[in-house]
Amino acid sequence: MGKVTIEEVELNIQEKASVQEGEHTFKDDTYVQKTVTVQEFKSSVFRYPNSSESILVSKINLFNEDYFKIVFFCESISKAWTLLEIHSSLDIQLKRLNKTMFLIVANNPSKENKNVSSQISFCRIKPSQRVEEITINFGVLNKLTVLDSHIVLSYRDFKDNGVIEDIVAVYNYDGRLMQTESLDSA
């Protein structure tokens, strides 16, 4: 399971597994014992200082895979917005860019597993109370720098033809690509 970091604070998401014995049957002269494994996950909450706003991270099961569900909650108006549901094998970093914009970086911690893409998502809470999400997939994150109004992303991308490419890209806070440059890779 990947780790979740919000505003430089690592969350501890606890899980508990228990095995329950089920029914016993005989089928074609064979003894069959059915057991059920129950996995319980506890949500974790990050509260913004001096604010009624918080981020709730919980683990859910989608498509027989474990995912993190990341929800922004404003207690003063009793509203919650799902920012993103993302695979739990990725290391997640969340940073609030401004009042309505969040940056979520999901990095594949296994640099050898090229089948799992890393991603960066720009999530904006719209006045219509909906979340607008822009997601960019890439291979492996090298470095991420958040500036006053831009984000500089350095990453390694794996192309279908086996070519490995190192890329530096600059995005604005809205997720719009401002500039990109491919570097020679080893």
User: pLDDT tens, 116-146?
Assistant: 688 999 999 988 889 999 999 888 888 999 9
Q: Which residue reads 């606890």 in tokens? A: 14
pLDDT attached to residue 184: 64
Q: Is 149 a domain residue?
A: yes
Mean pLDDT of 41-67: 84
Determine whether 123 is exposed, middle or buried from the number of CB atoms within 10 Å of its CB (0-12, 13-18, 19+).
buried
- The reply to whether 27 falls in a domain is no
State residue 82's pLDDT score: 93
For the chain, give percent helix, strand, coil, nearest 5.
0, 65, 35
- Give domain status of residue 29, yes or no: no
Let me know if residue 16 belongs to a domain.
yes
C-alpha to C-alpha distance for 92 and 83, rounded to whole angstroms = 13
Please state the rounded mean pLDDT for residues 56-63.
86
Domains in the chain: how many in total?
A: 1
pLDDT exceeds 80 at position 16: no
Q: How far apart are CA 139 and CA 116, in angstroms?
A: 8
pLDDT higher than threshold 60 for residue 113: no
Question: Which pLDDT value is given to residue 132?
Answer: 94
Beta bridge partners of residue 137, listed in sequence order = 119
**DSSP conformation class of 74:** E
* Alpha-carbon dihedral angle through residues 87, 91, 97, 101, given to the nearest 10 degrees: 0
* pLDDT over 60 (residue 55): yes
Q: pLDDT value at position 73? A: 92
Instruction: Check: CB of residue 74 under 8 Å from CB of residue 52.
Output: yes
Structural domain harbouring 148: 4-21+34-183
Residue 85 lies in a domain: yes
pLDDT computed for residue 30 by the predictor: 80
pLDDT at 151: 92
| Mean pLDDT computed over every residue of the chain | 84
In-domain check, residue 151: yes
Q: Which of 87, 76, 147 is nearest to 113 (CA)?
A: 87
Q: Which amino acid is present at 142?
A: N
The answer to whether position 140 is within a domain reads yes
Residue pLDDT, tens place only, 63-80? 888 888 999 999 988 899
Inter-residue contact 128 to 138 (CB < 8 Å):
no
Tell me, yes or no, whether 175 lies in a domain.
yes
